[in-house]
Structure 1
Amino acid sequence: MSNISVIGLGIMGLPIAINLVKAGHTVTGYNRSPERIQKLVDAGGHAARSVAEAATGADVIITMVPDSPDVEAVVSGPDGVFANAAPGALWIDASTIRPDVARHLATEAREAGLRPLDAPVSGGEQGAIDGALSIMIGGIRADVDAAHDVLSAIGKTIVHVGPSGSGQTVKAANQLIVAVNIEALAEAVVFLEAHGVDREAALKVLGGGLAGSKVLDQKGQKLLDRNFDPGFRLALHHKDLGIVTAAAREAGVIIPLGAIVAQLVAATVQRGDGGLDHSALFKQVLELSGRD
């Protein structure tokens, strides 16, 4: 079993840390909000008072923070991960950040003697709670193999997709697909409601055919219930689509649907709904259709 530190105990980071405790690892957590650390302690983990303390002596350091600047802040400087982790420690960044940032941070990590992996996850809060995340990993194969026991405690689909930065590139594609699916599902539900169809029956039969998807399975009932409690906040998906559109532009790739959905997500965030679940795209479709 490993000594693991998890830095960032938010909606995803806390259940990840708790599942690592359940798997028998020694887990130390750090978070800016101390009440999240206490929840880990209550589950059998340990508390760190700083990033430096969390990194010191850990075999594996997992970072799960919101954005590229947050990761850079956590790993850099005299109080960061790179300056305090032991040589040979695995650094697994499970955040969703820009692929170019992941690549340059991986270079810095190796210069500091660490073994970096960019390993963003998909599956949402429930996937994190169930230990059933899909994990896309960029890095060196030997380091991926070394991290397997840790990652298998939090995920069911664990795939090495290429060198450093590749995990973040695949995650960007994931976020593009998910956003387009949520928008399509939202439009379909408004369409069904406008025609007075039995909504539950309609989603059941759609889910059993080619239109079926995990997005329909996980978000369909939330739309019907108008329940937008955050499993993955719309503001974070807005950030992710910024990564997608920037990376597409850099590669010279045209993503017309992605561009449209990115604007719809941006508009929903700007109207003040960024703290809601990303399925709250439905609210905008309702408004545009003059319905509630």
Structure 2
Amino acid sequence: MSNIAVIGLGIMGLPMAKNLLAAGHTVTGYNLSQDRIDELVAAGGQGANGIPAAVKDADVIITMVPDSPDVAAAVRGEEGIFANAKKGALWIDASSIRPDVAKELADEATAAGLRAVDAPVSGGEQGAIDAVLSIMVGGTDEDFASALEVLQSVGKTIVHVGPAGAGQTVKAANQLIVAVNIQALAEAIIFLEAFGVDTDAALKVLGGGLAGSKVLDQKGQKMLDRDFAPGFRLALHNKDMGIITAAARQAGITIPLGAHVAQLVGSAVQQGDAGLDHSGLFKLTAAFAGRA
């Protein structure tokens, strides 16, 4: 078992830390808000008052923070991970950030004497709670092998997809597929409701055919109930769509559906729905259809 530091105890980070505890690891957590640290301590973990204290004895360090600048801030500088972790420690970045930033920070980690993998996750809050996340990992074969036991404590489908930055590239593709599926599901539900169809029955039969998807399974009922309590916030999906569209431009490719849905997600955020679950994109779609 390992001494693990978890930096970022939010919607995803805290349940992941709890699952690491359940697997027998020693877990020290740090978060900007004390209440999340207190919850980890109540579950049997340890709390730290800053990144240096959290990482100083860690064999493995996991970061789970919102965006590329947040990861960079956590690792760089005198108070950052690179300056305070012991040599040879393994840094696993489970955040969803730009692939080029992931590669850049992995190189900096190597220069600082650490090992690094980018390991963004998919599955939302419930997937984190149930330890069934899908995890796409970028890094060397050796570092992936070192990270695997820890990742198996929080995920179910764990795949090495290539060198540093590759995990973030695959995560961007994941978020593209999810966003387009959410939009299609929202339109389908509004279409069904407009004709007075039994939507519960309709989603049941659609879920058993080619239209079935995890998005339909996990988000369909939320849309029917107009319950958009966050499992993955629209603000974060908006950030991810920005990563996707920027990376597509960098690669010289077009993603017509992705670009359109990125605009819709951005519009929903600008209208005040940033804190809703990403299934809250339904609200904007309903408004467009005159059925808000």
Match of 2:282 in 1: 282
One-letter identity of the residue aligned with 2:104: H
Match of 2:117 in 1: 117
* Distance in 2 between residues matched to 1:149 and 1:116, nearest whole Å: 15
Match of 2:224 in 1: 224
Match of 2:66 in 1: 66
Match of 2:85 in 1: 85
One-letter identity of the residue aligned with 1:135: I
Report the alpha carbon displacement of residue 148 of structure 1 after superposing the two structures with TM. Answer: 1.2
The aligned length equals 292
Match of 1:255 in 2: 255
* Distance in 1 between residues matched to 2:40 and 2:101, nearest whole Å: 29
Match of 2:30 in 1: 30
Unaligned runs of 5+ in 1: none
* Distance in 2 between residues matched to 1:69 and 1:285, nearest whole Å: 31
Task: Give per-residue Cα distances to partners, 1:27-85, cap 9 Å, x unaligned.
Answer: 00000000000000010000011011111010000000000000000000011000000
One-letter identity of the residue aligned with 2:6: V
Report the alpha carbon displacement of residue 253 of structure 1 after superposing the two structures with TM. Answer: 1.0
Task: Give per-residue Cα distances to partners, 1:241-286, cap 9 Å, x unaligned.
Answer: 0000000000011100000000000000000000000001100111
One-letter identity of the residue aligned with 1:237: H
One-letter identity of the residue aligned with 1:78: E
* Distance in 1 between residues matched to 2:4 and 2:70, nearest whole Å: 20
* Distance in 2 between residues matched to 1:285 and 1:111, nearest whole Å: 48
* Distance in 2 between residues matched to 1:11 and 1:234, nearest whole Å: 13
Structure 1's consecutive aligned runs of 4 or more residues displaced over 3 angstroms after TM superposition are none
Calculate percent identity across the aligned residue pairs. 72
* Distance in 2 between residues matched to 1:4 and 1:222, nearest whole Å: 35
Equivalent position SS for 2:209: coil
1:162 aligns with 2:165: no
Task: Give per-residue Cα distances to partners, 1:180-234, cap 9 Å, x unaligned.
Answer: 0000000000000000000000000000000000000000000000000000000
Report the alpha carbon displacement of residue 147 of structure 1 after superposing the two structures with TM. Answer: 1.1
Match of 2:176 in 1: 176
One-letter identity of the residue aligned with 1:95: S
One-letter identity of the residue aligned with 2:278: H
* Distance in 2 between residues matched to 1:131 and 1:42, nearest whole Å: 19
Match of 1:186 in 2: 186
One-letter identity of the residue aligned with 1:21: L
The TM-score, its normalising length taken from structure 1, stands at 1.00
One-letter identity of the residue aligned with 1:68: S
Report the alpha carbon displacement of residue 159 of structure 1 after superposing the two structures with TM. Answer: 0.3
What's the RMSD between the two structures over aligned residues?
0.4
Report the alpha carbon displacement of residue 115 of structure 1 after superposing the two structures with TM. Answer: 0.4
Match of 1:7 in 2: 7
Match of 1:153 in 2: 153
* Distance in 2 between residues matched to 1:163 and 1:275, nearest whole Å: 33
* Distance in 2 between residues matched to 1:247 and 1:52, nearest whole Å: 33
Equivalent position SS for 2:204: helix
The TM-score, its normalising length taken from structure 2, stands at 1.00
Unaligned runs of 5+ in 2: none
